Structure 1
């Protein structure tokens, strides 16, 4: 039955791609205009809070394997990486937790199908046009209600077909290989179907044994060396396939798109390296993730716009542990389904004042082959009211989000239903009309229910977890300047100070198993931090140089119980200091890029006064060189990457060693 379902879903992907040809094959008599270059510092008159952004050209220059790797160059972001090509990769913004990060793909939310978090290691960078991160929420109020419900949001914008001159077909073929035995080919095909309709189809295959060397070094409490050896990392092998197809169309005063996505993988789950155990752990995870989504946007009156978005997602997970001490062996299977629909309307009251209303409905259910499983269902209705106002050099945005949740289970006790309203207010002020210097501030309250994964995943979920409440306070400034003369062409500086107050914070504590986590509620956590982001662009003759610098300071402390010895201590895996630096250079057809990532000291447990829990800082240096060749009217780009240039052995998560120095070679041919 499952194989037939997989075959049907893959067939559906091809069907959607082919269906576009019936949308009217009209002769193309219009001239295709060249796409204008986008100034990354261009102002949006209604933007209240500026996001952090990485465009496709920058992403391509940095040494990144996945979306999670690219996010390392955003300030305020912590990445948890469990090692290797296929290891779990999660993101946390300002220590609020991975569950407070909303991830949107082409404007529609991605469900948390595994372990209550979005594994960003699954998403390829090849098809992305842009990655954008917002603290608080997006400045555009014309959005689904779901967008207002996260403490921070990451928007993954897929590429849209662009046809230059008289072309009607684009084809890009890419292959990647590396010193960690990896075979990773991919392709992207774009077809112009008519003047207003285009389609794309892409696929990717990843096959790696995931074996790499690492240093295992441990000391006894008395300082004597217990272990010091070079070993090989096992159980990080991956076989994965990704298929994606989309159709995009333009309407008079509107647009629409339809997208289908499939991701199939069979991977090992690398275990913790404890007491000198380096062999295979025998844990495996099989995933089958599918979704179909679509959107329609239309300007129906001169001052009124409306949009509809819808999505259906099916996620299958099979967790196998062949070496478990208990009998019978573990073979757990989980199925989650999600249906989502959203309707939004924007009304322009006048040139300075907009108002919007959004209503979303989401249905989730979950099934498993476990004894006495609850078979939960959740019905979520979201209603958002929002407004933007501009008065001279002052801009403000306010919103009110209503969350109404009904929980049902087939057996056992169901969590209580919840109804909550949460406000948000954003302000931006430009003190000097002649200078791009902006003061900004926001307050936002967020309400979050425990997910199915936190409550029902065997065996450590807790159905009695309390909902989280967060209060976010932010104040900062942005300065931008363009220069008409000199080497420096532009500069952008963004500084934020923030305070987050979290009640009933849910923490997912790693328990030696990458698939099953222990979930706990902390009574109160306070987070104080600073984010700094500096970017620039320089030109010297035919050299083009773009430096990028980020820095984050965070103090995230647990104030749950004054009687505990760790009262007021830093929460686990939150460094006080972290940052990154990258410089991207171009000279004619050559490119040379360097990047540095630093994560400071931290603790792997709540008790910061025990040396055993202390984790050393880690940092990596990455280097890449690129060369572009012109073959008639086609383009061939070759890239050589050296990751972890100085071969530092380190753990992002304790006892989960990361690769040392490794190489990757990429060939990209564009037809």
Structure 2
């Protein structure tokens, strides 16, 4: 109760000091377009990769497929459409934060996010922030963070988009999106539905992907309203309802089924003044699952967790060169499940951010965060970053940070096996980047080093029972290269977007590479457009990975697509797109004994009016 009172008191005092001069209309719009504006404002020394709408539409809409072919992230997918977890710079899935409109939404149950539960069609921006981010985004932001944002545009407009698709394995997709508004209000919503038999062949055998059916429904609603010239209310909501069978492996069939739901709602009040910006967010997150070992039986295990978050941000511009920001956040988590009981957790954090444009060519930031979490002590974490611009085309970026991850409810309370003696993981990282840009080319080259101690791993105890322990010291280091080429001539458009990463993620005591972390990963995206036609090709090269008891072979996978853009009427534009995925019919697995699809096809029609 005292913590809640403290948050309220700081909020009142902070707002009472705000000057009465107002921003002009352009400044107001800059503030309200995206909720998470600190992503770039306080991260000048970080590499940030932005995936544009043209990139998103080339894949089938799942966040896994988009990031697999357009980033350095590696995904463990238990068969197509099944649970998908990420490895960012060699860290594990619970060490990557997923941020929805500025709020960390990693599961309180397992500390992770299933990337197959996000339909990218419902978002305006997908951005990847490399390097530690626990100061800004809390627990889990060790390797980096993935940001999903929705835009609210305050001008007179009404735009509809309908996207329908059908493909191999009886896969059906349908999406609708509306964006409308005027100067005082803005609204957008998105609805997506996917249904698939998902019964692809296992190449090299007579088997099929049995019990792999899935369907899901997603819904996004975002709205904003200017109360007056200095105050705006915004509402963000996302729902996901999924029902999927869990396919088996090459050697073990499955009859299991999994239902999961996620509801996320956020109400935000923004106040804009001459030098101050105040934002108060009230957030409710709810996740739940039911697991049926036998889909034909009524027996199931269950779990759910509700999260209530209050967040206040106060940004103050001291002068034309210096900005500071304070963030106060209180969170309450309550869970219920037949494998972990009824645990709860309260957390309060205070964060200070500083940004200084020291000169036209040099700026830096210093940030610090302290969190108080019931049940154990969380560390003070900090970060610093800087950008030095050699000239208009070349900049050097550097950042360093101390980061952490608190144990999840599963880690602490799972029965049998939970461990109440766990302490938070601690990590230190440094990242050096070079960025070059010209009219025809953009290049980003980064090297990094991450050292983690007290890493939580589930290992067998003296009885053979797997239990989580703070046992590992891990070091991660490597290099990343991104190359973008673009050339336009007489209506012909040539584009190349490629990336390569070399990743070492090893146990510091044994010098052994961790499982499911490839040393080498590369992707190439080529496109050629002329008038209404566009031809594009995607290629993924994934090196071999260590698995328990051996190695999993690397693979090469290519996708080919052709799209045709046609304006039927003045207010109706159409895009017809045909994709051939895995065009070489390559057998591959990114998780052992779980084959991915053979060559398959997808036809997609988009209407914009």
Q: TM-score, normalised by structure 1?
A: 0.79
Matched with 2:178 is 189
* Of 134, 142, 149, the match for 1:157: 149
SS of the residue corresponding to residue 189 of structure 2 reads: strand
Q: What SS class does the counterpart of residue 57 from structure 1 fall into?
A: helix
Query: 2: CA distance between counterparts of 1:245 and 1:446?
Result: 33
CA deviation vs aligned residue, 1:497-523 (integer Å, no higher than 9, x gap): 11110112224699xxxxxx9755442
How many Å apart are 1:473 and its aligned residue?
1.3
> Do the aligned partners of 1:146 and 1:360 also contact (CA within 8 Å) in 2?
no
2:584 is paired with a residue of what secondary structure? coil
- Residues 145 and 359 in structure 1, CA contact (< 8 A), matched pair in contact too: no
Computed over aligned residues only, the root mean square deviation of the Cα atoms, in angstroms, reads 2.7
Query: Which of 530, 538, 541 is 1:595 aligned to?
Result: 538
- For the residue of structure 2 that corresponds to 1:195, the secondary structure is coil
Partner of 1:90: 85
1:569 lines up with 2:512 in the alignment = yes
Any unmatched runs of 5+ in structure 2? Answer: 1-28, 30-39, 461-465
Between the aligned partners of 1:519 and 1:641, the Cα distance in structure 2 is 43
Corresponding residue for residue 306 of structure 1:
278
Structure 2 residue 269 is matched with structure 1 residue 296: yes
Mark the CA change 1:117 to 1:508 in structure 2 (over 3 Å): closer, same or farther: farther
1:457 is displaced (CA, Å) by 4.2
Cα offset, 1:170, TM superposition: 2.3
3-state SS of paired residue (2:66) = helix
Alignment of 1:55-454 (within 5 A): 55-60=52-57, 62-84=58-80, 86-112=81-107, 115-136=110-131, 146=138, 150-160=142-152, 168-192=157-181, 194-215=182-203, 229-250=205-226, 251-253=228-230, 255-274=232-251, 277=252, 279=253, 281-300=254-273, 302-322=274-294, 331-370=300-339, 373-392=340-359, 393-407=361-375, 417-431=376-390, 433=391, 435-454=392-411
Q: In the alignment, what sits opposite 1:540?
A: 489
Q: Distance in 1 between matches of 2:591 and 2:578?
A: 28
- String of CA shifts for 1:8-45, please: whole Å, max 9, x gaps: xxxxxxxxxxxxxxxxxxxxxxxxx9xxxxxxxxx989
Q: How many residues of Structure 1 are paired with residues of Structure 2 in the alignment? A: 564
CA distance in 1, matches of 2:389, 2:66: 31
- 1: distance between equivalents of 2:458 and 2:491? 50
Give the structure 2 partner of residue 651 of structure 1. 589
Q: CA deviation at 1:240?
A: 1.4
Separation of aligned partners in 2, 1:523 and 1:147:
18
**Contact 1:359–1:382 at 8 Å: present in 2 too?**
yes
TM-score with structure 2 setting the length: 0.87
Residue 122 of structure 2 contacts residue 220 of structure 2 at CA under 8 Å; is this kept in 1?
A: no
Q: Select 1:630's aligned residue among 558, 567, 580.
A: 567
Contact 1:80/1:89 (CA < 8 Å) preserved in 2? yes
1:399–1:46 distance in 2 versus 1, CA, 3 Å: closer
Distance 2:327 2:308 in 1: 17
Question: How far does residue 116 in structure 1 lie from its aligned partner after superposition?
Answer: 2.9
Q: CA 1:145–1:174 in 2, change beyond 3 Å: closer, same or farther?
A: closer
**CA gap 1:285/1:460 in 2 versus in 1, 3 angstroms:** farther
- Determine which of 529, 550, 558 is the counterpart of 1:621: 558
> Contact between 1:623 and 1:643, CA under 8 Å: does it hold in 2?
yes
Moved more, 382-391 or 63-72: 63-72
Shift of 1:253: 4.4
Partner Cα distance (2:249, 2:470) in 1: 25
2 CA distance for matches of 1:287 and 1:47? 37
Q: CA deviation at 1:151?
A: 4.2
Where does the alignment leave 5 or more consecutive residues of structure 1 unmatched? 1-32, 34-42, 217-228, 408-416, 483-489, 511-516, 561-566, 606-611
Deviations 1:256-290 (A, max 9, x none): 3202222112111122322xx4x4x1111111221
Q: The residue matched to 1:121 in structure 2 has which SS?
A: helix
**Secondary structure in 1 matching 2:300:** strand
1:571 match: secondary structure = coil
Q: Is contact 2:516-2:547 (8 Å) kept? A: yes
- Does the 8 Å contact 2:45/2:399 carry over to 1? no
